[in-house]
């Protein structure tokens, strides 16, 4: 398979290049400027359309404004599109969904299998522990742009689906007790942390924590390549990581 990686010079993109090569795929990369990563010629992003001409899949870990146009280019080229970029606004998400009318698009805010298991479990846990206080804390490296993380937002959406009148409270200060229905959301940015998410539920004289910790960026890269391998040849449409797993 021929895989083009957008963001090939980035922290995650260079791992995608490495994993895809290890699995025997032909790889190509684009980033903002021309360079080379581990012997792969990385071209400027304005050459992406050319790069896609003979590609099977585009795997994208860049920034939302770039991914919006990459989705359109993948659709024009008829290439399966896997996107790991996070932090899209409504218009950005709409653009990706528009591309899914023409090509298979798989979007995931987290390509770790463990996070998928956490997402699958969270609604059941929250339902069983009805009325417990819930606090969500995520920690990432100091270069991460969007906050809270896409994974934290997805976890909150899952909780929202089973809790009435959920009140997302981003950080706290001042003098007031915790409100009913509050879910505290806490964001930490420091060093080179790959990604940690902890959901804490407390009530009934007990505390339950569900924690996922990525120990290297390989886990995201491997998941994204798994997704690309699964996506190529599918019908146009909107897919998620759970579909591929």
Report, in Å, the least distance between residue 161 CB and ligand NAP: 21
Interface with ligand NAP (CB under 6 A), residue from 20, 55, 63, 225: 63
**CB-based closest residue to ligand NAP:** 10
> Within positions 154 to 183, which residues make up the interface with ligand NAP, using CB under 6 A?
none
140 is catalytic: yes
Rule CB under 6 A: say whether 109 interacts with ligand NAP. Answer: yes
Contacting residues for 111 by C-beta, under 8 A, at least 6 apart? 84, 219, 220, 221, 222, 223, 224, 226, 227, 241
Nearest to 109 by CA among 151, 59, 70, 148: 151
Q: Does 135 sit behind a cis peptide bond, omega within 30 degrees of 0 on the bond before it?
A: no
> Among residues 81 and 201, whose Cβ is nearest to ligand NAP?
81
Rule CB under 6 A: say whether 110 interacts with ligand NAP. Answer: yes
Rule CB under 6 A: say whether 17 interacts with ligand NAP. Answer: no
> Within positions 214 to 233, which residues make up the interface with ligand NAP, using CB under 6 A?
220
Rule CB under 6 A: say whether 153 interacts with ligand NAP. Answer: no
Interface with ligand NAP (CB under 6 A), residue from 84, 125, 137, 225: 84
Q: What is the DSSP string of 93-153?
A: HHHHHHHTTTSEEEE-S---HHHHHHHHHHHHHHHHTTT-EEEEEEEE-TT--SSS-HHHH
Interface with ligand NAP (CB under 6 A), residue from 20, 56, 57, 61: 61
Cβ-in-10-Å burial (0-12, 13-18, 19+) of 39 comes to exposed
Rule CB under 6 A: say whether 104 interacts with ligand NAP. Answer: no
Rule CB under 6 A: say whether 62 interacts with ligand NAP. Answer: yes
Distance CA 229, CA 213 (A): 25
Rule CB under 6 A: say whether 31 interacts with ligand NAP. Answer: yes
DSSP conformational letter for 23:
T
| Set 70, 140, 197, 212: catalytic member | 140
Report, in Å, the least distance between residue 180 CB and ligand NAP: 32
Rule CB under 6 A: say whether 148 interacts with ligand NAP. Answer: no
Catalytic residues: 140, 144
């Amino acid at each position: 398979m021929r895989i083009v990686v957008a963001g090939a010079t980035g922290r995650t993109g260079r791992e995608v290049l490495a994993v895809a090569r290890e699995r025997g795929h032909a790889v190509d990369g684009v980033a903002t400027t021309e360079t080379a990563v581990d012997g792969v010629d990385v071209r400027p992003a304005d050459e992406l359309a050319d790069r896609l001409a003979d590609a099977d899949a585009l795997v994208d870990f860049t920034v939302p404004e770039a991914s919006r146009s990459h989705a359109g280019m993948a659709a024009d080229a008829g290439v399966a599109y896997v996107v790991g970029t996070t932090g899209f606004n409504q218009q950005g998400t709409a653009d990706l969904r528009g591309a899914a009318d023409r090509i298979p698009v798989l979007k995931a805010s987290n390509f770790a299998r463990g996070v998928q298991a956490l997402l699958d479990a969270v609604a059941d846990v929250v339902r069983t522990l009805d009325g417990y206080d819930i606090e969500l804390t995520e920690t990432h490296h100091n270069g991460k742009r969007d906050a809270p993380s896409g994974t934290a937002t997805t976890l909150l959406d899952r909780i929202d689906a089973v809790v009435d009148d959920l009140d997302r409270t981003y950080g706290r200060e001042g003098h007031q007790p915790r409100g009913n229905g509050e879910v505290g959301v806490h964001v930490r940015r420091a060093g080179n942390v790959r990604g940690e998410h902890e959901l804490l539920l407390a009530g009934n004289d007990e505390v339950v924590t569900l924690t996922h910790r990525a120990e290297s960026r390989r886990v995201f890269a491997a998941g994204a390549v798994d997704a690309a391998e699964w996506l190529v040849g599918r019908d146009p449409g909107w897919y998620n990581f759970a579909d591929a797993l």
